[in-house]
Amino acid sequence: MPSIDFKLIKQDSGCSARLGSLTTPHGRIDTPIFMPVGTQATVKAMTPEELREVGSQIILGNTYHLYIRPGHELVRRMGGLHAFMHWDGPILTDSGGFQVFSLGEMRKIKEDGVTFQSHLDGSYHFISPEISIAIQEALGADIIMCFDECPPYPAEHDYLRRSMEMTTRWARRCKEAKKRDDQALFGIVQGGMDLELRRQSASELREIGFDGYALGGLSVGEEKERMYEVMEFAAPFLPDDQPRYVMGIGAPEDLIEGIYHGFDMFDCVMPTRNARNGMLFTSTSRINIKGAAYAEDSGPIDPECGCYVCRNYSRAYLRHLFRAGEILASRLNTYHNLYYYLSLMAQARVAIAEDRFPEFRREFYGKRNVA
């Protein structure tokens, strides 16, 4: 029996947007879906119960950070990530590849794997495709990712080609190393902004065969137009009957474009990180709650939002909390931002079901006065 079951329910007749259902050992996910990021076995400022309240169906854990602290073997002894963090829904763990990429000069990449220094204490560590899979199996997520190299932007064609080819070899090693039958393994399409390399990467990963496919290496400094071009180009080379995931993109317009081009799953720290910095998302814009304009504003963050925060707290109060350095500011801001993101996904699913996603997309941009 497969570890996950993806059913494509409907594709919008006016674009590539897809409505789907993804069943995992810890529950069913309606797609398209956004995954809040729980880097260190917690979505910052949120309890698992609150995550359910805002509409979370699946969350993401970070392999690199959990390996560094508290250690994957400790998590295994505590019953796996679900029991450890008191979350009974689906979990996806990334491979650690992006975090290793972000370490810059603190890491060295070779064919056998990556040697890197911990960002905590400078100690040296080594992760290979096999070790990444072993860590993720110990963590026990429903969906795990192949270890890949995330190339920088910009990068020369020869570097991108070598990186993509190594990512393919690593993907094959990940599949061979995987032992648990109750976890799905996704391959990661790389190739930078080079469309031909993206096509080659997708084709080679399909030949190996995975339970789902992701686009990596986006939102690393490229222009929005390039990001959207890669998504539009790559989607047709991925199987129709398996989930498609764009890793690490997170502005609301990025999610809308990802759905429009036929992707099902998304994640990013943007809603939670921005919340802690006082940046809040609304149906028409973003607002910086620190601004003096909100000092005596008795209105909610977003008059169109029905979340707990918008029903009960004013912009003036939220500004006060933030400027006073109160912990409650981060909690309420995060609650609202995640509610906004997950409500946007729910609205997108309804639009696809009603065969009107292009109209929904136009209305989304129209509210923002964005061409």
Residue type, 57: Q
Q: One of 94, 148, 194, 211 is an active-site residue; which one? A: 94
Residues in the chain: 371
Instruction: Judge whether 240 counts as a catalytic residue.
Output: no
Amino acid letter, 83: A
Annotated active-site residue in 12, 211, 267, 302:
267
| Residue that is written with structure tokens 């370490």 in the block | 103
Cβ(140)–Cβ(82) below 8 Å = yes
**Per-position DSSP letters for 279-317, written without gaps between them:** EEE-SS-EEETTSGGGTT--S-S-TT--SHHHHH--HHH
SS3 59: strand
CA–CA gap between residue 213 and residue 321 (Å, rounded) = 42
Element (H, E) at 199: helix 195-208
Active site residue 267: yes
Write the CA distances from 275 to 133, 208, 287, 289, 364, integer angstroms.
32, 40, 10, 9, 21
As given in the structure block, the two tokens for residue 263 are 């992707």
Residue numbers annotated as active site:
94, 267
